[in-house]
Structure formats: structure tokens, C-alpha cells
Amino acid sequence: MLNEGLIFERSTPGQKGYSLPELDVPAEELTNLIPAELLRRELNLPEVSELDVVRHFTRLSQLNFSVDTEFYPLGSCTMKYNPKVNEEAAKMFTELHPGQADDSVQGILQLLYDFERYLCAIFGYDAFTLQPAAGAHGELTALMMIKAYHEENKSKVKSQNLKVRNKIIIPDSSHGTNPASVSMVGFTPVVIKSNGRGNVDLAALRQALGDDTAGLMLTNPNTLGLFDEHILEVAELVHQAGGLLYYDGANANANLGICRPADLGFDVAHFNLHKTFSTPHGGGGPGSGPVGVTRKLEPFLPVPRVIKGPAGFQLTAESYPRSIGRVHSFHGNVGVIIRAYAYIRSLGAAGLKAASEKAVENANYMMNQLKDHYYLPYDRTCQHEFVISAKWQKEKFGIRALDIAKRLIDYGFHPPTIYFPLIVEEALMIEPTESESRATLDAFCAALIKIARECATDPELVRSAPHHTPVSRLDEARAAREPDLRWTGNS
């Protein structure tokens, strides 16, 4: 049988375990389940010695660019150092199976329970779901809750002319996942402009608000790295109109121990554990996007939830009949949650605050070094990241943000995020994080300043960069859409 030999115990009646579906296929017939065109006909693997294999993979690993090898100032992504002790902590739980009965996994259930409380303390919320697997997934989950909340309220009021609240207001600086999540839930995104200081434009907000407003989604500090100077007024206006405030917590690395989104008036929020609380991420995963809520949204949280009962920690769905249901198998990406737990425990409250302060300090330090050499569209104190522009270089030399990003690779740096946020032309979005030394920040700024000079003295050098990599300019869109991953025998 296919499921023979699995290491966890089957749940017995009365236990809250998970049972595998039976697959009544004898082992010798299993290949029949695989479509013929997917079966390998000949095995044409290279015959090489162990040493050759070791060298091949060691060389391949050295082609990888990572936070462990170089500076990685990718704006919005918070590529901070991922302490190795977190990996050890996550490894301690790898022999557990999520289908085990509650009473055999009390340790991890307590960790999940405690972790939820840490997040509540850090961000000010009353409860969290740990299920969402990424920030974008958290957005979807939260918007589903906002929808359930308004639907319930509407059904309570028997007025015929009460409008359906189906519009979510988003500033034009928002991350692309925001409007995408809004549409996925069946709401309509309404984009409003930012003002000259990078804040939500209050006049535009007033105009957009109405009795069809379901809520506002805001990142704060926003993707320009700027803290909204009128955030309390924004919250009041949205609440007065009957909408809810959603906090995109991807930039929480600027705020830890300094301000809490729930205190600012945000009813619901997601946080990207892989960004703020360190987990190696990039290339699409892994992630975790817990969603925090205030009391009024708590009944809608996904189930099952970990509660502390008389017999210990347990998973339950029954106590939450108004829940939107499950959004992930089992408990979410538990490996990422354990890393974040270990990170929070090892830094403590003071350490988290110090991390945020340092991240903000680092960003401001760099912004001030660079602003004479690159156009700075919003010249005010930034938070943990900032956005400069290649506007001057484009106007004078026809050199674009992409060229500058590619040239940075020649100097051994990962390029910053480019062409985002969309409201800054030729944007270069730089996020140093708290992990980096002053020497690293100086070296990166020196490289960018040198490139600004090269734009004048040898523009072609910048335009055709990178020059010191195994391959030069790639057609990135094509490489993503039609990846060529075959082993060719001569690599």
C-alpha cells in the first residue's frame, strides 16, 4: 500500500487528528497512475565521480547571490541577515507530522499559541491567524474577513437602500499585490493619488469615500519609505464613512517597538514574517503572512485555531461558526513561524526596537550620501528604506535605472528594487536593513556615486553592464516565461 510505513499514528475516533485517504493500489501498479508521456524511457545521466559532483555543486552554489555572500538592498523585501540559530530551531521540529493527534504535539501547539500572543503584543491586535503562507495570501485572507464583516452588518440592517460596500481604496504608491487581492475577493479597487510629500492625499480620500466603501488598504511606512504624516486623520475619515482600515505590514521592520498599527486605527493587518522576522526568502518562498485583527473581526478568523483548553493546547473549529474557514492546509508554513519565534525570542522587546531604529538610521544615512548624485523625489526623513531616481541620468545621458542596477552587479552588489513604486519615474528603491555595517553602506554608496560619474564619462560602459558575470544582459521577461533548465552536458 502507498501509505504503508508512514511514521505518524492514525487518529482514533475522538482524537483531533488527520487521517490519510486510502489508496487501494498495489505498489507494482503504481506506475500505471503516471501518464505514459511523463515516464522516462531512457536514463541518460552523466557518469562522473563523486569528487566531480562535489565540485560541480560547490561551483554552482558559489554562483548564488545571497545575503550570506553580499549586500542585498532589495527595497520592500527586507533582505536582512537570517541568523543560523533560527535554522537549528526549525530543524528541531522536522520529525513531527501535522496529522499527529493534539496530545502528541503539545510543544509545537504551545509555540504557535505563544507566537500568536507575541504578535498581538508587538502589533497591538487581539488575535491572529498564522495560516496565510505569504503577505499576498494574508491580504486575501483579511479582505475575505472584511467582506464577511460587511455582509453580516448589511443583513442585520433591513434597510432597502443600504449600498453594498464593495470598494477598497488604495493609494497609488501601493504594492501590486494590493489591487490584485482586492479583485480576487470580488471588491473593486479605487486608486487615489499621493500628495507632494508622499502621503495619502486627504482631499482625494474624502472624494473617494462613500457608503459603498468597504475599506482602505495602506502600507505605512509606504513603499516610498515614508510614514504618513496624517495617518490618524486618514483612519478617522475611513471609519466615519463606515469602512475598515487594512494595514499592509510588509514594512513593519521600520516600526517594531515604536508604533503599533492597531493603535493607529488599523482594524486588520498582515505581517510578512519572512521579511520582518528573518527567514531566507526570495525566488518565491517560503513565506508566512499572519493576519492580526481587532475584536470586531476576530469571529471571522480562519479555523482551526489553537486554544488552551483544560487538557492542554488543542485545535478547534467548532467555537468559531462565523469563521471564513480554512485558508491553508494544517497550521500554515510552520517552519517560517518557528524561525520568526526564535528571532523574536532571541532579540527580545528591546532588541526588536533597536533593530528597527538601526534600519531607519541606516536608510537615512545612505539617502543623505546619495541625494547629491541621484534625484530624490521626496526629500524628507525616510523610514527603513528610500527611493531615489535615475531621472537626471536618463535626461542627460539616456541611462536608465535598469542600466544602473546592472552596473551595480559589476561592483559585487545586488541591485535595489527598480521601477517600483510606480509613481516615481526611473525608481531605485533601497532598503539596507539593520544588519549591515557602516563600511558596507559606505561601499555601496561609493559604487552608486562612481556609477553616476561613469554615466558622464563612459555611458556605454553602464548601458552594456554587467561585464563581470557569467552571462551579461538577459531577456528577463523571456527567461522567466521560458526558463531553459536543461542539463546540457557541457556546463
Give 213 or 272: the residue with its C-beta nearer to ligand PLP. Answer: 272
The b-or-e profile of 220-249 (16+ CB within 10 A means b, else e) is bbbbbbbbbebbeebbebbeebbbbbbbbb
Out of 71, 74, 76, 367, point to the residue binding ligand PLP (CB under 6 A).
Answer: 76
Alpha helices in 324-437 (DSSP H): 334-370, 391-397, 401-410
Here's the x/- map for ligand PLP, 184-203, by CB under 6 A: it reads as --------------------
Cα(255)–Cα(264) distance, integer angstroms: 12
Smallest separation (angstroms) from ligand PLP to the CB of 430: 14
Q: How many residues of this chain bind ligand PLP (CB under 6 A)?
A: 13
Smallest separation (angstroms) from ligand PLP to the CB of 181: 9
Give 105 or 382: the residue with its C-beta nearer to ligand PLP. Answer: 382
The b-or-e profile of 36-52 (16+ CB within 10 A means b, else e) is eeeeeeeeeeeeeeeee
Here's the x/- map for ligand PLP, 274-293, by CB under 6 A: it reads as -------------x-x----
Q: How many CB atoms lie within 10 A of CB 139?
A: 28
- Does 302 sit near ligand PLP (CB under 6 A)? no
Binding region for ligand PLP (CB under 6 A) out of 16-24, 133-141, 224-232, 388-396: 133-141
Name the residue with the smallest CB distance to ligand PLP.
135
Within 8 A by CB and 6+ apart from 101, the residues are 9, 11, 12, 15, 16, 17
- Does 135 sit near ligand PLP (CB under 6 A)? yes
Question: What's the first-to-final CA gap in the chain, in angstroms?
Answer: 41
Q: How far, in whole angstroms, is CA 45 from its chain's centroid?
A: 38
Tell me the three cell numbers of residue 165.
460596500
Residue 219: DSSP 8-state: E
Smallest separation (angstroms) from ligand PLP to the CB of 396: 31
Here's the x/- map for ligand PLP, 232-261, by CB under 6 A: it reads as ----------------x-x-----------
Out of 105, 109, 136, 190, point to the residue binding ligand PLP (CB under 6 A).
Answer: 136
Out of 129, 199, 219, 383, point to the residue binding ligand PLP (CB under 6 A).
Answer: 219
Bridge partner list, 213: 167
Within 8 A by CB and 6+ apart from 96, the residues are 105, 108
Smallest separation (angstroms) from ligand PLP to the CB of 104: 31
Tell me the three cell numbers of residue 271.
505581517
- Does 314 sit near ligand PLP (CB under 6 A)? no
Specify the length of the chain in residues. 491
Tell me the three cell numbers of residue 111.
509555540
Smallest separation (angstroms) from ligand PLP to the CB of 273: 9
- Interface ranges with ligand PLP (CB under 6 A): 76, 134-136, 175, 177, 219, 223, 248, 250, 272, 287, 289
